[in-house]
Structure 1
Amino acid sequence: MIRVERKQAKRPLESTISLINIVFLMLIFFLVAGRLAPPQDPEVVLSRAETADPLPPPDALYARVDGTLHYREQPVSAEDYLLRFVTRDDTSKPVVRLAADERLQARDLLRHVGALYRAGAGRVVIVTRASSE
């Protein structure tokens, strides 16, 4: 029997184009995703807390130093905020994130928290910043 030597098949060259495309798409995704979070209200300086999470404030309701409530830089009442901007599921009351200016009077803050509870909030969370900032 005659044996004929087979040439090993050449491996196709691996193209790095697909890898570059994936990295580029990930870059675009993170650039867009980073812009989806609304910016912090420029009129509000958050209170400091010893054990605050090192995260930017979420899409929060802001209480300015003059005692007014703002959502995405538009004035709003507690009732209107809960009716128009808070998504509710059928089983629980919504959690409201309230970012209050550090110079806001305590009585005004308590008035806003009370109004949010009366309007139907299940829980009100005060957003602060880390004391190291």
Structure 2
Amino acid sequence: MYKNPLKAIGLLIIVIQLFSCSRKVELANIDLENWKNDRNGCLGLRMDDLEDFRAIKNDLLGKDNQALIKTFGRPDKVELADRSQSFFIYFLEPGPSCINKDKSGEPLKAIFRLNAISRVSEVTISKLEPGNLR
């Protein structure tokens, strides 16, 4: 097949790097800088993009956890679930750690369910906790 094993190894390394690199997801009409700067939803900036987020949320299915982090920033909360699943939670309304948070109820949040291979399998916008979604 290959007469030079170093060439084959080099080609394999390049192919692995091309497929393993996660890129930021390009999303029209969503101000991702506001999203990243609004940690825990305390400033209310994420709510400005709620309807646009609803329109594109299914485009995020199949993306990996690193692509989410590069796109939206570090999640406000991460929860582990059974069968090696996890949830990335981004508060859309002020979350529990916000100083002037209205304590009357659960805040609205974007919840990304990641499967065992860290790919988005579901995106939900809800006031419920991940364990109570179904």
Q: TM-score of the superposition, structure 2-length normalised?
A: 0.35
For CA contacts below 8 A with separation 6 or more, give which structure has more relative contact order. 1
Structure number with greater Rg is 1
Greater helix percent: which structure? 2
